[in-house]
């Protein structure tokens, strides 16, 4: 599949050292984009126009990284993330609070027609169960304020799932604001199990059996390129009317959860 509309565009991709981020960056490069890649590790065999060190748990680092990126930014792919075993507050910063700040800084360098695509997870599906609280969380103004809110609300759950829930809700709210005010589209992609270094770490820590239920009905772990294809589609400058959408690239997991009542009370017809 070709995405030649990216030729000559300046595209920013986080998490380019491995997995989905690296596959997305490579696909963009193959289609002629000027790719600025950010990560803690310098990726191998990736012909980036520029690589910038980025630690999403470090606010100063986030600001310095954003300063090094010149306008205009045509597209931003927020793909960097961390595993559930990461220290809780660090995990919350990397998977949501730091991404939020980085995006806010780059929006100032974007223009009408620019796009933002946030890579979430099937772990974020649960936002429907605690939407009102999550809106409170995503409306915090700073990283520190967000941390304070989370520490005061332990009932919202583990920071891995909750950071993904927050990323989803924030993306939806941001999509309405930016599209109306600036003509910038914001969308989300939610991968299921993907063959990456991160999944290897998760399976090593918790066991393969924890991941196995997420493979129903597909029966396999996807390749990062399968995720990158959808990310490029959502970020495409030709995809002008897709905004505030979340495409589940999970082999049918979300469909199974919905139809079996896991996330929907079929008796009364409401989300739970």
Structure-derived torsion over alpha carbons of residues 195, 200, 203, 209, reported in degrees to the nearest 10: 30
Sorted by sequence, the CB contacts under 8 Å of residue 85 that are 6+ apart come out as 201, 202, 205
Sorted by sequence, the CB contacts under 8 Å of residue 227 that are 6+ apart come out as 20, 23, 24, 119, 189, 191, 194, 249
Sorted by sequence, the CB contacts under 8 Å of residue 189 that are 6+ apart come out as 117, 118, 119, 120, 227, 230, 231, 234, 246, 247, 249
Q: Is 131 an annotated catalytic residue?
A: no
> CA-CA distance, 114 to 59, in Å (whole number)?
24
Catalytic one among 150, 160, 162, 172?
A: 160
Catalytic residues: 160
């Amino acid at each position: 599949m070709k995405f030649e509309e990216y030729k000559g565009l300046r595209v920013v991709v986080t998490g380019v050292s491995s997995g989905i981020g690296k596959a997305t960056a490579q696909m963009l490069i193959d289609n002629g984009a000027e790719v600025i890649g950010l990560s803690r590790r310098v990726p191998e065999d990736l012909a980036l126009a520029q690589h910038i060190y980025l630690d999403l748990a470090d606010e100063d680092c986030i600001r310095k990284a954003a300063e090094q990126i010149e306008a205009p930014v045509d597209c931003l792919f927020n793909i960097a993330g961390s595993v559930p075993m990461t220290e809780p507050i660090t995990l919350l910063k990397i998977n949501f609070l730091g991404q939020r700040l980085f995006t806010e800084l780059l929006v100032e360098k974007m223009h009408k027609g620019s796009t933002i695509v946030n890579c979430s997870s099937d772990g974020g599906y649960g936002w429907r169960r605690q939407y009102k609280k999550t809106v409170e969380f995503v409306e915090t103004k700073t990283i520190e304020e967000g941390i304070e809110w989370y520490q005061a609300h332990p009932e919202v759950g583990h920071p891995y799932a909750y950071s993904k829930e927050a990323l989803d809700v924030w993306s939806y709210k941001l999509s309405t604001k930016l599209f109306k005010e600036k003509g910038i589209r914001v969308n989300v992609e939610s991968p299921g199990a993907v063959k990456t270094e991160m999944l290897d770490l998760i399976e090593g820590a918790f066991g393969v059996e924890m991941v196995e239920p997420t493979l129903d009905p597909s029966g396999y772990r996807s390749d990062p390129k399968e995720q990158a294809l959808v990310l490029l589609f959502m970020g495409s400058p030709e995809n002008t009317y897709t905004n505030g959408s979340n495409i589940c690239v999970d082999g049918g997991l979300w469909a199974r959860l919905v139809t079996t009542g896991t996330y929907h009370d079929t008796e009364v017809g409401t989300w739970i």
